[in-house]
């Protein structure tokens, strides 16, 4: 009975000591990891600090640029309009462009011996010149 009592008490103490050792090791590792996490969070904070002022700067400058661009291309349009030669519209000059030498019959048909019906037999000299 006494021996069993001693065994039970020693077993209880051994179990408590063993698990305490294991849990202590785990908690130590967790503490190290959390310390590393804290350092990482500090680095992230340091990296994120210039984002807001930088973006505000970019947005402010970009807004000024965007507001000035219409002024610039307004100037450009005015310059292009100013330097282009003026040409009054001529209603008589609205017909399609034709060659000054007039048109003539193609000789390609003569080359292959083709004589379309109703065509002139004057080889080499085609249709009369059109009015220019």
Partner 1 sequence: MAVPEISVLLTDTERNLWTGAIVGGIVVVLAVAALLTILVLLVRTIEQRVTTVRDKLQAAVENTEDTALIAETADGVEAVLGEGLKHHLFLGRVYEKVRA
Place of tokens 């080359």: 111
Q: Name the 3-class secondary structure at 115.
A: coil
- Which tokens is 38 given? 């804290």
Q: Is 86 in the site for partner 1 (CB under 8 A)?
A: no
Binding to partner 1 by CB under 8 A, coded x per residue (else -) over 28-67, reads -xx--xx-xx--xx-xx--xx-xx--xx-xx--xx-xx--
70 near partner 1, judged by CB under 8 A: no
Residue pair 130/98 in contact by the 8 Å Cβ criterion: yes
Among 19, 99, 109, 120, binds partner 1 (CB under 8 A): 19
Element (H, E) at 76: helix 51-83
Q: Give the list of residues 6+ apart from residue 128 with CB closer than 8 angstroms, or none.
A: 102
Footprint of partner 1 (CB under 8 A)? 1-2, 4-5, 8-9, 11-12, 15-16, 19, 22-23, 26-27, 29-30, 33-34, 36-37, 40-41, 43-44, 47-48, 50-51, 54-55, 57-58, 61-62, 64-65, 68-69, 71-72, 75-76, 78-79, 82-83
């Amino acid at each position: 009975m006494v021996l069993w009592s001693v065994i039970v008490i020693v077993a209880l103490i051994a179990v408590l000591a063993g698990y305490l050792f294991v849990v202590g090791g785990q908690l130590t590792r967790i503490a190290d990891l959390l310390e590393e996490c804290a350092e990482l969070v500090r680095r992230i904070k340091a990296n994120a600090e210039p984002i807001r002022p930088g973006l505000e700067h970019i947005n402010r400058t970009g807004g000024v640029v965007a507001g000035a661009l219409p002024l610039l291309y307004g100037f450009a349009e005015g310059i292009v309009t100013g330097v282009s030669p003026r040409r009054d519209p001529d209603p008589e000059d609205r017909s399609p462009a034709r060659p000054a030498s007039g048109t003539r019959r193609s000789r390609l048909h003569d080359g292959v011996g083709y004589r379309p019906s109703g065509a002139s037999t004057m080889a080499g000299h085609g249709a009369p010149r059109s009015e220019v």
